[in-house]
A = this chain, B = another copy of it.
């Protein structure tokens, strides 16, 4: 019996209409659908595609403790992939949902690195949050020969400063409890007025808030600061 194929599909930043045609086709044709969720919360990725599910699939949610570090999550991923591998070995195609893009800071990468040697694997790119948020804000990110960087907010202040000074446009991700630190850095560098804050970009409850009005205690995981290029060319 031929083995099943593993598909990692990006479901985009939140708006269900930002799914690609290819992701939709695979989502609806694979017998097994896998997605991540915290123990105590519904899965964001499944929520995005809920309206497209035909209802006759095997669903397999895997749980990670809330706000778990990627290093601490590795032994959990070792276990998570076992039932996925069993479905594949039994000849069933498996689609793994991933918010945003699967290979760009995506949770799917931990499944990919464990199973893609053994099973035929295909990845379907998704709309990544910098592009989703730029569209939601209506702001061009980068022009022509601009340097664009993605900076995770947990980086040390010195690194953030140096990177902000050396790029033309920046997306700062994973803000959460690092928001105040990032806002201070932007202030110090004179970039506050250019920076734009958005949370849950393209989701139903999307909010765009002026940077100085954001409550640092209320910054969710799905938030971003975009510093668009100063260029107009």
Contacts and interface: CB of A to CB of B under 8 A. Distances in A.
A148 B116 CA distance: 23
A113 interface: yes
B20 A125 contact: no
Interface in A1-56: 10, 12-13, 15-22, 24-25
A104 B141 contact: yes
Contact of A21 (B19, B144, B232): B19
Nearest to A21: B17
A139 B113 CA distance: 9
How many chain A residues sit at the interface, stated as a range, is 35 or more
Contact of A134 (B18, B103, B116, B232): B103
A135 interface: yes
B128 A131 contact: yes
A105 interface: yes
Interface string A100-127: 0111111001001100100001011111
Interface stretch (A88-96, A162-170, A188-196): A162-170
Interface of A: 10, 12-13, 15-22, 24-25, 70-71, 74, 101-106, 109, 112-113, 116, 121, 123-128, 130-132, 134-135, 138-152, 154-155, 159, 162-163, 166-167, 174, 232-233
Given A17-B25, A20-B127, A104-B134, 14 more contacts: A15-B22, A17-B20, A17-B22, A18-B20, A18-B124, A19-B20, A70-B144, A71-B233, A102-B135, A103-B134, A104-B148, A109-B140, A125-B134, A145-B155
